[in-house]
Structure 1
């Protein structure tokens, strides 16, 4: 079982103005994030605009990313797809190039939504690979909620050891923590509270624009320095509330660009923030300038 505790940064994919992937900046970003102390990088995350990347582009990103990262931190690859054969093909490829774990969405578009159907989906993937599977609970996007009962059942599979919970319901999150699964928080705005509740780590899109602060927050909570953690959290929260309530990925990559990480570009059909949204984002980022951890 992989050790995925800590800050697993859901990494952006840097694009050129024409929508092509800028692999040079991708590698530079990997170095910046690793130097900031993150414990893992999630390649092809939702924040990395996975739905708008081709399978070949994902494979190339993962190959380049895994090689660049080496053994400096964990490598997590998203291998989600709607077609079952494609999920397995992507997963096997990611495993072959050195991924430590795979993040896989449930069959989110008119697929099975019942517990038996979801279990069968992950069981087939589990039988095809030999590294950790991170299930993904994000019902606001998939329309599928992973029940506590289903999660406990999924942990009987050989490789299903983790769940990323992005729902933002702390009650369910704590119920997850009572199972034998290892839990990773995925809701930006509940991060500090999930860590205090005992979640082992996070998969965090917002960390793209504040990797140093994210690592510092984790370190403070791990050390039991909750008052200091909450003081840091006060400076982080305005921008996290903004990205969570606005267009998430365009907000994150623009915030990252403003703080020196990436190009700020998105791939169609996503669009950049409007001028008034951009101004509001910059205001929300302002508290991070006070007491910088860099």
Structure 2
């Protein structure tokens, strides 16, 4: 692996936050709140940021809102940590436009999700990701069958990993066996051959087991509230300190589970509001947290040491 490839690989390892998009009570984007959240993440030592993803409610944002959010984030970050911009669409043409936007605005990489609803066949999926990589910015695949209706199996992921410019995957299949197979059959041989392929967990609860199998970190939801803790967990595991990693894993596991008691990002935004961070409501069609979910979520967040607002 030459030096530039090694630097690229190291840059996309660690704890990345899938940023929420704060809203005002009237449903407008809270741009000043967004600026505060980006600063908070950097100050707390997160390794990287992923704006404009699922957690950021991009299906309900318009292009002007997204571009302003990206510009503010990059202005605040100033190259201190890598930024992977969500650039997915179920239209290849639209996706390419979003990847170009990420490149033109100065992002470090683009996160491209499996096209949803269409359920593309393998040949179409390969061409979709070839089109993304052709833009000329590093591309991270986002594999999440629960949101898209299509899983990318290991053999197809092998073909996608061979596309120049595809540098890794955010694996949110929920299948730790599949994650392990991707690491064993793609990432580890790639690293040995000087062609690194980063594997990041898309599920907070799988951070430790994924890294134990040879993975590289996490794109975290709960780090919106506790970035320092998630960075510490990831660092301990990547350094092979699994005694400390297990301690943090079990400390944070109840929150990692309860933060998905309802559709993401409804619970994490509620927790952030209670803790005094700018989050606001989710946009329709996502409604407020159900009354039956309030007590268990508040109990878990208070257990992390937060004094919560009503």
The match for 1:153 among 138, 156, 159 is: 159
Q: Which residue of 2 aligns with 1:288?
A: 304
Q: Which residue of 2 aligns with 1:23?
A: 31
Give 1:93-242 correspondences, 5 Å limit. 93-112=101-120, 114-127=121-134, 129-178=135-184, 179=186, 180=190, 181-242=197-258
Question: How far, CA to CA, are the matches of 2:157 and 2:28 in structure 1?
Answer: 38
Conserved 8 A contact 1:133-1:159: yes
Q: Which runs of 4+ in 1 moved over 6 A?
A: none
SS at match of 1:104: strand
Question: How far, CA to CA, are the matches of 1:280 and 1:245 in structure 2?
Answer: 9
The match for 2:81 among 55, 73, 77 is: 73
Q: Which residue of 1 aligns with 2:14?
A: 6
The match for 1:59 among 49, 63, 67 is: 67
Question: How far, CA to CA, are the matches of 2:173 and 2:240 in structure 1?
Answer: 25
Size of the aligned set, in residue pairs, is 288
Conserved 8 A contact 1:55-1:90: no
Q: Could you list the per-position Cα deviations for residues 209-235 of structure 1 after superposition, in whole angstroms to 9, with x for gaps in the alignment?
A: 111110111122123221222122222
Q: Which residue of 1 aligns with 2:194?
A: none
275-284 or 165-174, which deviates more: 275-284
Question: How far, CA to CA, are the matches of 1:219 and 1:188 in structure 2?
Answer: 14
Structure 2 gap segments, 5+ residues each: 191-196
Question: How far, CA to CA, are the matches of 1:43 and 1:109 in structure 2?
Answer: 22
* CA-atom RMSD in angstroms: 1.5
Conserved 8 A contact 1:221-1:229: yes
Question: How far, CA to CA, are the matches of 2:21 and 2:106 in structure 1?
Answer: 19
Conserved 8 A contact 2:24-2:30: yes
Question: How far, CA to CA, are the matches of 1:241 and 1:92 in structure 2?
Answer: 35
Q: TM-score, normalised by structure 1?
A: 0.93
